[in-house]
Amino acid sequence: MQVIMGIYCIGDIQGCQKAFEDLLHALDFSPSRDTLYVLGDLVNRGPDSAGVLRRMMQLEGSVHCLLGNHDIHLLAVARGIRPMGRRDTLFDILHAADAGAMLDWLRRQPLALHAHGCLMVHAGVQPGWDVAQTLSCASEISEQLQDRHWEHFLTELFGNVPDRWNDRLQGMDRARVIVNTLTRIRFLDVDGHMDFGHKRGLDEAPRHLIPWFAHPLRRTMDTLVAFGHWSALGLIRRHNLLSLDTGAVWGGELTAVEILPPGRPGRMVQVRSLTSAEF
Ligand SMILES: [Mn+2]
C-alpha cells in the first residue's frame, strides 16, 4: 500500500480540545506519517485550554504550533503582568500541577514558519515584509521570549503604539509592532497605520481601511500565506491565501486545509465545534 504523507494547516482552536480530537480523527491523522501546523490561539475562551496544550506537547514533532495573541496573553497573565480578562478561561492552566511545563513549552513556540512553500502566521504580515524578513522579525521575538529576562520583556510588550512598521524601529517599539503584526493585525490604511478597533468582517470596516492581505504593495503576494485570528472574515481558500479561523470557539467549525508542496492549498476538512463561548 502506498503511504501518502499529509501536511495540514488548521485555524484557531482556543481550548476546543474535543473539536481538535474530532478533526484529527476526520483527517485520519497519523503522527508518524503526517504533519500538522496550528496557526496560533491554542488557548482561551473555550472549555479545555489545558487539554489542548497537553495534547500539543504530546504530539510535538508531528504538530507544529505558532503563538497567537491569546497564547501570549496567557504567558502575561500567568506571571501577573496582565489581569485576567472577564471572558478569559485560563484557570485550568494556571491552577494545573503541570502549569510550569505548559508555559515553558508555550514560550518556545515560534511566531512564524515557512514550510512546504507556505508562510504561516497567526494574524498577518506587514506589506513591506518578504518571507525572509517575516521570519527574522518573528525570531527576534522568540529570542526575547526564551531569554531569562522574558518576564521583563512581556511587561513592556503590550499596547497599540507605534502603529506603523518602519525598518529603523528599535527596542520595545520594534518588538511591539512585530508582535502586533504577527498576532493581532486585521486592517491597516494605505500608509501602513494598523487599526486595532475593527474586528468584524470586510463590509463593516470604514473605507480607508484595507485588510492587510489586500495591500497593493504586499511583498508576500506570490507566496501562499496561511493565517487564522479573524473569525469574522471566515474561510478564504485561494491559491495564495488561506484564512482558517472559522470560529470553532463560537460554535462554528474547526478547519484544516491540506498543503500541497510547493505551496498550493489542497483538500479541506472541517468539523463542527459544540463549544459556544459567549461574545
Ligand atoms: Mn487571535
Model confidence at 275: pLDDT above 90? no
User: In this structure, which residues have their CB less than 5 angstroms from ion ligand 1?
Assistant: 41, 68-69, 229
CA–CA gap between residue 56 and residue 39 (Å, rounded): 12
- Distance (angstroms) between ligand 1 centre and the Cα of 67 equals 9
**Domain span holding position 212:** 7-272
Report pLDDT for 277: 72
Model confidence at 60: pLDDT above 80? yes
**C-alpha closest to that of 90 among 229, 253, 147, 102:** 102
Computed on alpha carbons and rounded to an integer, the radius of gyration of the chain in Å comes to 18
Helices marked H in 95-149 — which ranges?
99-107, 131-146
CA–CA gap between residue 56 and residue 4 (Å, rounded): 23
AA identity, residue 116:
H
Residue 1 inside a domain? The answer is no
What CATH number does residue 103 fall under? 3.60.21.10
Write out 222-268 in H/E/C secondary structure.
Answer: CCEEEECCCCCCCCEEECCEEECCCCHHHCCEEEEEEEECCCEEEEE
- Distance (angstroms) between ligand 1 centre and the Cα of 3 equals 35
Report pLDDT for 274: 82
- Distance (angstroms) between ligand 1 centre and the Cα of 4 equals 32
Model confidence at 278: pLDDT above 90? no
- Taking residue 104's Cβ as centre, other Cβ atoms within 10 Å add up to 11
Residue 78 inside a domain? The answer is yes
- Distance (angstroms) between ligand 1 centre and the Cα of 71 equals 9
Residue 278 inside a domain? The answer is no
CA–CA gap between residue 188 and residue 208 (Å, rounded): 8
Model confidence at 221: pLDDT above 60? yes
**What share of the chain has pLDDT > 90, as a percent?**
94
Report pLDDT for 195: 97
* Whether 5 contacts 240, CB under 8 Å: no
Residue 38 inside a domain? The answer is yes
- Helices 49-58 and 99-107 meet at what angle, rounded to 10? 70
Report pLDDT for 4: 82
- Distance (angstroms) between ligand 1 centre and the Cα of 205 equals 18
Residue 61 inside a domain? The answer is yes
pLDDT digits 0-9 by tens, 94-131? 999 999 999 999 999 999 999 999 999 999 999 999 99
One DSSP character per residue, 1-59 reads ------EEEE---TT-HHHHHHHHHHHT--TTT-EEEE-S--SSSSS-HHHHHHHHHHT
Residue 277 inside a domain? The answer is no
Residue 279 inside a domain? The answer is no
Return the ∠ at Cα 64 (arms to 155 and 174), rounded to 5°. 30
AA identity, residue 137:
C
Find out whether the peptide bond into 265 is cis, omega within 30 degrees of 0.
no
How many domains are contained in the chain?
Answer: 1
Mean pLDDT is lowest, of 6-10, 198-202, 240-244, for 198-202
Mean pLDDT over 225-249 rounds to: 96
pLDDT band with cut points at 50, 70 and 90 for residue 276: confident
Residue 91 inside a domain? The answer is yes
- Distance (angstroms) between ligand 1 centre and the Cα of 70 equals 6
Model confidence at 279: pLDDT above 60? no
Mean pLDDT over 59-70 rounds to: 98
Model confidence at 1: pLDDT above 60? no
